[in-house]
Amino acid sequence: MVVTGVVLLTAWADLVFAQDVWVNPYQTQDGGYVQGHHRSAPDSNPYNNYSTQGNVNPYTGQVGHENPNGHDHSNGYGNYGNSAPNGHNNGTGW
């Protein structure tokens, strides 16, 4: 019975944490440095990302802030900060 419980617990943990990937530290093109970190595995589902509203990053405790519908109004352009209408990156992109 104990073995069955351990197997089930291990299977559950694999499912819960299987979506996490490690990103190695790297240097950006403009010379900035990004520390290594965990993130949710890339896929086309915006609802399972740590940064999505309603989610919490289990490693940092940071509460998600991105709108899963693609309308992040934090930069005023509703495009997650990729670029402003004038074509210039406004510094809030990913």
Domain ranges of the chain: 2-42, 43-94
| Tens of pLDDT, residue by residue, the chain (94 residues) | 665 655 555 555 555 555 789 999 999 999 999 999 988 888 888 888 888 999 999 989 999 999 988 765 555 444 444 444 444 444 444 4
The CA-based angle 19-21-23, given to 5 degrees, is 155
What does DSSP say about strands 26-27 and 37-40: parallel, antiparallel, or unpaired? Answer: unpaired
Burial of 46 (0-12, 13-18, 19+ CB in 10 A): middle
The predicted pLDDT at position 36 comes to 95
Please say whether the dihedral angle defined by the alpha carbons of residues 11, 15, 17 and 19, taken in this order, is positive or negative. Answer: positive
The predicted pLDDT at position 25 comes to 97
Question: Which residue's entry shows tokens 């992040």?
Answer: 72
CA distance 92 to 78: 12
> Model-level pTM?
0.48
